[in-house]
């Protein structure tokens, strides 16, 4: 292994170890009952915290993984030591409380990212690091695997030599304190370092309460401080309190299609639907290591990157005072389970709505009738498969507890508060649903910004649904045809959501929404409140062009109502998977090219 690869591997292992729990699990028997404790050492003192049986099992596996990685790390460091002695500068060795890299070590750590393509948002980080001095810190935050650490390494790689010599990278672990980091920053400042990048800073228990230190002491004295981490809520709380008006925020969670294609080199809306949402893909077999390649991977991502992220933030903020209505769930050890259920439930509701709509449609009824025409079976899918039974069967297969099965009820206030936090994480966004002719009626559509997560769970639900006894009466080929049709419908609905979401984010000066009529709808309307005009769209998961696709766009009554409410119609469009074209005054736009053009 080359030295650059070796040092990069060491840095990656240290980073992975930093977020895993240390210590050990102990079991005590009190009054014939078994109790579990997480034992750790803090400031040379042993501390034991009570944990539930479920938490004990998970913690045990994480601690075991940490020890395994530490063993691997030790071996790699032994390989690196002989070379390190020959390449180390004559500069005196500095002593630190935390894990600090600079000079040759840092150079080796960032070497492998030099050939990586860059995310678009890196320009904001570049402007801060290479721009004029200001007494603010830069916060780079987002869910796991969205490119935060890679961006830091890329910026470090862009620094000219005279600035790189003044740069340092601090890897925070859960055992570090703000006092430790403060001491190391003071040492770095005394030795002329001016560009400091601190990764996973929210792992410190006292970060939120003492975050002002970075801006008030160090940024104000001329240092450029970049803080990064996966604890998005922790940063959001800090911005509102300790770092108010003294920070620049850059959120990395949302990855649009154009970056999926341009940065990762993976083309096609279908690939984005299946795996979009993280920057962890690459190479020929990129999808095998993607967190959303399987439903289990998606569930693990939801649990670790989202549910535990929220709980950690709430626990650390003002001694847990921000739990609000979620406090009872936290105290009974149910909070992360409930957050998981809320996220999964949104994906499951979406899937159920698509499946039920598909089964009620004429097309799949005819398809099923054709499949069954040679059998002595009913010739209508709605007779052969009872919709209510199918829906009930789907619900039984969901890995979500119903209210009557829960030891703690999920109240409406819980749902509302959890969704507030999911919005702060940029995991969900609401798209307006408007109605004509009743203009006072409003609703919204909840869109998941990581499509791969939704598709993985939807795919699992549909596959499990086909294990139902009624479906098993069909042949394997028949079941496969129904499966493909259902997944095609799901991808089509998701493509609509992606177009709506990315258009809304890109066109901040316009109002983007879905418009529902008494019969039919416009999949998307882009309204210009200044020019008082609009564009109307249909989104079709098809490569073919047929007049039925734009029948609503040319419907005189619908267009008359739209013009009255939103002004002149400047364009009629169908976004689909085929080539750009025009039919009867309606422009057909290729979905990939449309999404790339939104940048």
How would you class 413 by CB atoms within 10 Å of its CB: exposed for 0-12, middle for 13-18, buried for 19 or more? exposed
pLDDT beyond 90 at 23 = no
Return the number of other C-beta atoms located less than 10 Å from residue 160's C-beta: 8
Q: Which two tokens stand for residue 512?
A: 């983007």
Looking at per-residue pLDDT, the higher value among 536 and 25 belongs to 536
Closest to 185 (Cα-Cα) out of 194, 1, 388: 194
| pLDDT of res. 291 | 76
Return the number of other C-beta atoms located less than 10 Å from residue 329's C-beta: 22
User: Which of 142-151, 222-231, 477-486, 533-542 is least confident?
Assistant: 477-486
pLDDT beyond 90 at 160 = yes
Looking at per-residue pLDDT, the higher value among 86 and 4 belongs to 4
Return the number of other C-beta atoms located less than 10 Å from residue 126's C-beta: 15
pLDDT beyond 70 at 74 = yes
pLDDT beyond 80 at 474 = no
- pLDDT tens-place string over residues 268-313: 999 999 999 988 754 333 334 567 877 778 888 888 888 888 887 7
Looking at per-residue pLDDT, the higher value among 551 and 238 belongs to 551
The stretch 208-218 carries a mean pLDDT of 86
CB-based contact 452:143 (threshold 8 Å): no
The stretch 67-83 carries a mean pLDDT of 75
The stretch 406-420 carries a mean pLDDT of 77
| pLDDT of res. 285 | 36
Distances from the Cα of 302 to the Cαs of 63, 414, 456, 560, in angstroms?
20, 18, 12, 45
Return the number of other C-beta atoms located less than 10 Å from residue 55's C-beta: 16
Return the number of other C-beta atoms located less than 10 Å from residue 71's C-beta: 9
pLDDT beyond 70 at 89 = no
Looking at per-residue pLDDT, the higher value among 20 and 190 belongs to 190
| pLDDT of res. 86 | 41
CA distance linking residue 397 with residue 376, whole number of Å: 29
Q: Which two tokens stand for residue 181?
A: 């980091």
Looking at per-residue pLDDT, the higher value among 318 and 468 belongs to 468
The stretch 103-121 carries a mean pLDDT of 88
pLDDT beyond 60 at 553 = yes
| E strands, 222-358, in order | 224-229, 247-251
pLDDT beyond 90 at 359 = no
| pLDDT of res. 357 | 79
Highest mean pLDDT, choosing among 80-94, 205-219, 253-267, 358-372: 253-267
Q: Read off φ and ψ for residue 229, nearest 5 degrees.
A: 170, 170
**Could you tell me how many residues make up the chain?**
599
The stretch 164-188 carries a mean pLDDT of 93
| E strands, 43-144, in order | 45-51, 99-102, 137-141
Looking at per-residue pLDDT, the higher value among 382 and 246 belongs to 246
How would you class 31 by CB atoms within 10 Å of its CB: exposed for 0-12, middle for 13-18, buried for 19 or more? exposed
pLDDT beyond 90 at 9 = no
Band of residue 445 on the pLDDT scale cut at 50, 70, 90: very high
Cα atoms in the 13 Å half-sphere on the side-chain side of 521? 12
pLDDT beyond 50 at 150 = yes
Band of residue 461 on the pLDDT scale cut at 50, 70, 90: confident
The stretch 229-234 carries a mean pLDDT of 80
What does the mean pLDDT of the chain come to? 83
Q: Where are the alpha helices (DSSP H) in 118-256?
A: 122-130, 148-158, 161-164, 178-190, 207-210, 212-213, 232-240
| pLDDT of res. 511 | 97
The stretch 494-502 carries a mean pLDDT of 98
Query: Which DSSP helix (H) or strand (E) runs through 56?
Result: helix 53-87
Looking up tokens 């003071």 gives 186
| pLDDT of res. 501 | 98
Strands 586-590 and 568-576 turn out to be parallel
Measured over the CA atoms of residue 344, residue 345, residue 346 and residue 351, the dihedral's sign is positive
CA distance linking residue 197 with residue 227, whole number of Å: 6
pLDDT beyond 80 at 82 = no
User: Which of 158-172, 359-373, 434-448, 553-567 is least confident?
Assistant: 359-373
CB-based contact 122:151 (threshold 8 Å): yes
CA angle 491, 588, 438 (to 5 degrees): 75
Return the number of other C-beta atoms located less than 10 Å from residue 240's C-beta: 10
- pLDDT tens-place string over residues 135-147: 899 999 988 889 8
**To the nearest whole percent, how much of the chain has pLDDT over 90?**
42
pLDDT beyond 70 at 352 = yes
- Whether a cis peptide bond, with omega within 30° of 0, leads into 49 is no
CA distance linking residue 169 with residue 188, whole number of Å: 11
Closest to 218 (Cα-Cα) out of 176, 237, 246, 250: 246
| pLDDT of res. 408 | 53
CA distance linking residue 441 with residue 462, whole number of Å: 33
Strands 428-435 and 224-229 turn out to be unpaired
Band of residue 404 on the pLDDT scale cut at 50, 70, 90: very low
Question: Can you name the residues that pair with 33 across neighbouring β-strands?
Answer: 30
Strands 568-576 and 99-102 turn out to be unpaired
Band of residue 448 on the pLDDT scale cut at 50, 70, 90: very high
Question: Can you name the residues that pair with 569 across neighbouring β-strands?
Answer: 534
* Crossing angle between the packed helical segments 451-465 and 335-360, to the nearest 10 degrees: 60
């Amino acid at each position: 292994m080359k030295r650059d690869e070796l040092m990069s591997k060491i840095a990656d292992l240290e980073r992975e170890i930093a977020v895993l729990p240390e210590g050990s699990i102990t079991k005590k028997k009190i009054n014939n009952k078994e109790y579990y404790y997480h034992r750790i050492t803090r400031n040379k003192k042993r501390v034991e915290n009570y944990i539930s049986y479920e938490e004990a099992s998970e913690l045990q596996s994480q601690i075991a993984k940490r020890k395994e990685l530490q063993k691997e790390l030790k071996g790699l460091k032994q390989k690196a030591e002989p070379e390190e002695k020959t390449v180390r500068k004559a500069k005196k060795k500095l002593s630190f409380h935390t894990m600090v890299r600079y000079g040759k070590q840092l150079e080796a750590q960032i070497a492998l990212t030099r050939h990586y393509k860059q995310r678009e948002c890196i320009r904001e980080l570049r402007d801060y690091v290479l721009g004029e001095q200001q007494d603010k810190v830069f916060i780079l935050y987002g869910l796991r695997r969205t490119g935060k650490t890679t961006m830091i390494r890329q910026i470090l790689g862009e620094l000219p030599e005279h600035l790189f010599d003044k740069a340092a990278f601090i890897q925070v672990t859960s055992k570090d304190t703000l006092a430790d980091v403060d001491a190391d920053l003071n040492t770095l400042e005394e030795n002329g370092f001016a560009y400091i990048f601190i990764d996973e800073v929210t792992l410190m228990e006292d970060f939120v309460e003492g975050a002002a230190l970075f801006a008030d002491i160090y940024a104000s004295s001329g240092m450029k401080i970049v803080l990064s981490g996966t604890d998005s809520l922790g940063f959001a709380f800090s911005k509102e309190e300790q770092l108010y008006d003294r920070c620049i925020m850059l959120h990395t969670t949302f990855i649009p299609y154009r970056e999926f294609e341009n940065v990762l080199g993976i083309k096609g809306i279908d690939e984005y639907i299946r795996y979009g949402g993280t920057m962890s893909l690459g190479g020929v077999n990129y999808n095998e290591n993607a967190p959303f390649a399987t439903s289990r991977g998606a569930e693990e991502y939801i649990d670790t990157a989202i549910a535990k992220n929220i709980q950690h933030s709430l626990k650390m903020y003002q001694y847990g005072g921000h739990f609000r209505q979620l406090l009872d769930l936290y105290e009974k050890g149910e909070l992360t389970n409930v957050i998981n259920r809320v996220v999964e439930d949104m994906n499951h509701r979406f899937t159920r709505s698509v499946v039920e709509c598909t089964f009620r449609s004429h097309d799949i009824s005819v398809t099923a009738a054709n499949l069954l025409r040679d059998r002595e079976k009913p010739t209508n899918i709605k007779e052969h498969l009872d919709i209510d039974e199918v829906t009930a069967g789907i619900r039984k297969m969901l890995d979500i507890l119903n209210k009557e099965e829960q030891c703690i009820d999920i109240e409406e206030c819980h749902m509302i508060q959890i969704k507030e936090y999911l919005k702060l994480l940029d995991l969900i966004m609401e798209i307006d649903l408007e109605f004509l002719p009743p203009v006072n009626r409003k609703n919204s559509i909840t869109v998941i910004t990581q499509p791969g997560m939704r598709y993985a769970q939807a795919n699992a639900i549909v596959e499990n649904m086909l294990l139902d006894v009624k479906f098993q009466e069909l042949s394997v080929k028949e079941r496969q045809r129904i499966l493909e049709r259902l997944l095609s419908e799901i991808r089509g609905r998701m493509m609509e959501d992606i177009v709506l979401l990315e258009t809304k984010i890109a066109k901040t000066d316009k109002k983007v929404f879905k418009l529902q009529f008494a019969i039919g709808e416009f999949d998307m309307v882009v309204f210009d409140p200044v020019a008082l005009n609009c564009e109307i769209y249909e989104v079709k998961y098809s490569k073919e062009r047929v007049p039925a696709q734009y029948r609503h766009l040319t419907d005189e009554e619908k267009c008359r109502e739209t013009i009255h409410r939103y002004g002149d119609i400047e364009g009629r469009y169908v976004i689909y998977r085929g080539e750009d074209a025009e039919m009867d005054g309606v422009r057909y736009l290729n979905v990939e090219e449309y999404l790339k053009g939104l940048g």
